[in-house]
């Protein structure tokens, strides 16, 4: 039984961790989806969410650049316009379907300003259902606000414990966990403060994963890049790359097959440029350095779509182009002059 689980997870890793490909995060919660749709004048309903995510997974050629897609629980049971289940439509393109399994965040008692994510109760049973619906990996996010006092030691340890418990449950069922500790960009902190916090956070996360006997070979890490706060001076891609790689080399085990960065509030072009700089500076880094972008991949396509069926092809072309540029950045071959060139 254990060998079957390990074989299943290895197959998922092999399918997802490939040169030039990355993960599309399309797992927005209902409130987040409402925020995404509001600027383009679309009301968030079950049908509009289905139509949007159907558009994503049926984009011709997307599988060339995207190896996995994180779906919202609702989406696992929905179908494309052609009547194919959305997970199956993704799989037909060689895109591994996965699912967000956490249930949102709230205040952490005893640590003012820190947050904790809910959803561990019944996780095993939910994962079994998701697997039957086609999901082969899962994702759980913990968030860390930066202030003068946050995250606290309690906050870092409590969040790491939750991530480790989630990952252990996933691996017991043969499901690859994406572990997402996100140090938030909100605030006026500089890049050095972000580096300090990110290193502390990742240290606690991997310590907890080790205690819970999570096998690093069968997980993916989805961290933030090391960036200054939104209210601070913007950092150049070379600064981001240097700071990010320094932190990762200090705390991420070489056994982890891939680090798939979140975009975390960066614009599409900024996220691609920073990924490119990281890969240009990677040297002998032992991991693949890829993406698990949500808004930074979807935003141009959303703006082209605007909820109208006649804009479907234009939206898909915008998504495909953004994915292609990030594939180039995966190899360190992106240049800003490529924007809008095709």
| Residues with active-site annotation | 180, 222
How big is the CA angle at 182 (ends 177 and 184), to the nearest 5 degrees?
Answer: 165
Reference 179, options 232, 108, 102, 283; nearest CA is: 102
Task: Let me know how many helices (H) and strands (E) the chain has, helices first.
Answer: 12, 10
The pair of three-digit structure tokens given for residue 176, joined into one six-digit string: 């690859």
Residue 8 near residue 174, CB atoms below 8 Å: yes
CB 209 within 8 A of CB 169: no
Question: Which one, of 273, 287, 267, 259, lies nearest residue 325 by Cα?
Answer: 273
The residue written with tokens 């572990």 in the block is 179
Alpha-carbon span 101 to 131, nearest angstrom:
12
H-type helices in 173-294, by residue range? 191-211, 237-251, 268-280
């Amino acid at each position: 039984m254990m060998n079957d689980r390990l074989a299943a997870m290895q197959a998922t890793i092999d399918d997802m961790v490939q040169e030039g490909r990355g993960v599309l995060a399309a797992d927005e919660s209902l409130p987040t989806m409402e925020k995404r749709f509001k600027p383009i004048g679309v009301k968030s309903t079950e049908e509009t969410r289905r139509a949007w995510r159907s558009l994503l997974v049926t984009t011709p050629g997307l599988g060339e650049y995207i190896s996995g897609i994180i779906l919202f629980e609702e989406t696992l049971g929905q179908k494309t316009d052609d009547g194919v289940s959305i997970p199956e439509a993704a799989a037909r393109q060689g895109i591994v379907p996965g699912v967000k399994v956490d249930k949102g965040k709230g205040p952490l008692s005893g640590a003012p300003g820190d947050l904790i994510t809910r959803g561990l109760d019944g996780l095993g049973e939910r994962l079994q259902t998701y697997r039957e619906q086609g999901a082969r990996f899962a994702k759980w996010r913990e968030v860390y606000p930066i202030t003068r006092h946050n995250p606290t030691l309690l906050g870092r340890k409590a969040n790491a414990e939750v991530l480790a418990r989630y990952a252990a449950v996933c691996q017991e069922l043969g499901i690859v966990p994406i572990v997402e500790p996100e140090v938030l960009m909100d605030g006026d902190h500089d890049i050095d403060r972000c580096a300090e916090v990110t290193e502390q956070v990742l240290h606690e996360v991997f310590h907890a994963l080790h205690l819970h006997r999570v096998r690093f070979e069968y997980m993916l890490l989805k961290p933030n890049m090391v960036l200054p706060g939104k209210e601070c001076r913007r950092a150049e891609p070379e600064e981001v790359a240097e700071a990010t790689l320094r932190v990762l080399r200090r705390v991420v085990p070489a056994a982890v097959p891939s680090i798939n960065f979140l975009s975390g509030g960066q614009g599409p072009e900024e996220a691609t440029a920073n990924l490119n700089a990281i890969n240009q500076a990677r040297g002998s880094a032992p991991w693949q350095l890829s993406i698990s972008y949500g808004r930074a991949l979807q935003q141009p396509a959303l703006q082209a779509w605007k909820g109208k069926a006649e804009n479907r092809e234009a939206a898909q072309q915008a998504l495909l182009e953004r994915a292609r540029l990030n594939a180039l950045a995966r190899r360190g071959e992106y240049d800003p002059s490529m924007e809008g060139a095709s």
